[in-house]
Structure 1
Amino acid sequence: MKLLRVGAKGEERPGMLDAGGLIRDLSGVVGDIAGHTLSDDGLDRLRGLDPVLLPEIPAGTRIGPCVGRVGKFICIGLNYSDHAAETGSKVPREPIVFMKATSAICGPNDPVYIPRGAEKTDWEVELAFVIGKRAKYVAEEEALSHVAGYCVANDVSERHFQVERSGQWTKGKSADHFGPVGPWLVTRDEVADPQNLGLWLDVNGERRQTGSTATMVFGVAFLVSYLSRFMTLEPGDIVATGTPPGVGMGMKPPQFLRAGDVIELGVEGLGRQRQVCMDDPG
């Protein structure tokens, strides 16, 4: 299934993409794509529906973040060896874990806001997974059963804040609209192998990133198990798994986003995003 949330910001209602690509309204069935809806039982209930019998949502309605009530937005840094090389970093021995503020989350086609004082705003296409079942001290062989599904994420980053102003990475990752997710959540039964998905990103029509999740240093199952040793993962938590090479800071000379730039990105089988960059309206 492909599940999504549509409507004005803060007023999104749940939906399902039918076989013909039409969005069907799930608000009469579930309150949101969140909480128990993400469990195996909740998803099985939705699979039992006939989408044709659900109301159609008009084309052109804004698509919001594909998951609601996100408790944690966790990110993994330098999780592709070739990306680590382009940044001049060593491949990590253990996952580099940092948080992105949940206030950064926005829809897949919402603008990317360039914050005040920014100098080096960058792009990062990533595979993200969403937790569907509480995970604590989970064995790797059982880890994927705790995943509800997968989606596209753009881990937008302000490198000046992240790298040059000391402290943790979080402040360079958490500006408003620095976390586009979606367009939809693809349930795990429709993703045969999360470690065999192509990723791509264009800026102003020029290809910047091309990669495959096959080259991730730490795969999804390992990450679920690893993270669950240090924190309890709850339904609705999002984990962005790192980016392949081709980010702006790795280019020679480096290139960064400016107001008016257009970012397009996608992950194989999970849809695509499009964002226009603009100065943060405050």
Structure 2
Amino acid sequence: MTSIRRARRSQLSVPGSSEKMLAKAAGSQADHVFCDLEDAVAPSVKVEARQKIVHALNSLDWGRKTRCVRINDVSTEWCHGDIIEIVEGAGRNLDTIMLTKPYGAADVLFLDRMLTQLEKKLGLERRIGIEVLIEEVQALQNVEEIATCSDRMECLVFGMGDYSGSQGIDTKSIGSDSDYPGDLFHYARWRITMAARAAKIDAIDGPYADFGDEEGYRREAVRARCLGMVGKWAIHPSQIAPALDVFSPSNAEIANARKQEEAYRAAEARGLGAAQVDGVMIDVAVLRLTRNVLDRAELYGM
């Protein structure tokens, strides 16, 4: 869908109502920061939080971070104003908008068309991307059409908290002491990741509420990575480092991948379809896995 590649190993959530936290987020090590206008902001201060975010986007040094704003969903009285005030105020310093609680493609297209109108009105030369939270059962049912409905789409995020409420999941089944014999969120993660990969966009895992439990956070991040997700939310700065670690290839993995690719290319130049490296057969199928490692290393500057 989109040719834009962004690092999203760690997506840091920061309340748009806190100037202090916005400044700390800009100086953090996260790849991606989303300034929140939704759950982290009380209804009474949602409107004033917009201008705090605009000021932060325009005045702070964000480095190479992806600058994102999470807006309220299309069924609320705030969504329309969120889009207009943020884009009119800081559209030139905004990379993506994250849409919450869509039910289908129509909700995403509402945002897409508003962005198109605003970009024309303001003369913005750089298009603003869209990230979407899959956090309703209807959204999971429609995830394939959501993933492909707009050429602005850059990633799908699994919002397991609201999703649990939407599906009526027994809260006793969530966590390390689950009554469920396996990963309760496996199917949702798998389906979201498949839809994202088919659309050539990113799949991101959502929050882990106990920010004091690094072991639990890492466990969930590894599960997401194994399925092909490329990052995870951080709801606290302490979760940034574990996410960067889990979703980055190690130096040993990068060195081995380069060795395998060099061997395969040398064999290919001799008219051969495979090579052997340390007792492992490297053919074109293995090369695709190797390239995944090297592409990520390049994206992360490793």
State the TM-score, normalized to the length of structure 2.
Answer: 0.23
Using CA pairs under 8 Å that are at least 6 residues apart, name the structure with larger relative contact order, 1 or 2.
1
Structure with greater strand percent: 1
Indicate the structure (1 or 2) with the bigger Cα radius of gyration.
2
State the TM-score, normalized to the length of structure 1.
Answer: 0.24
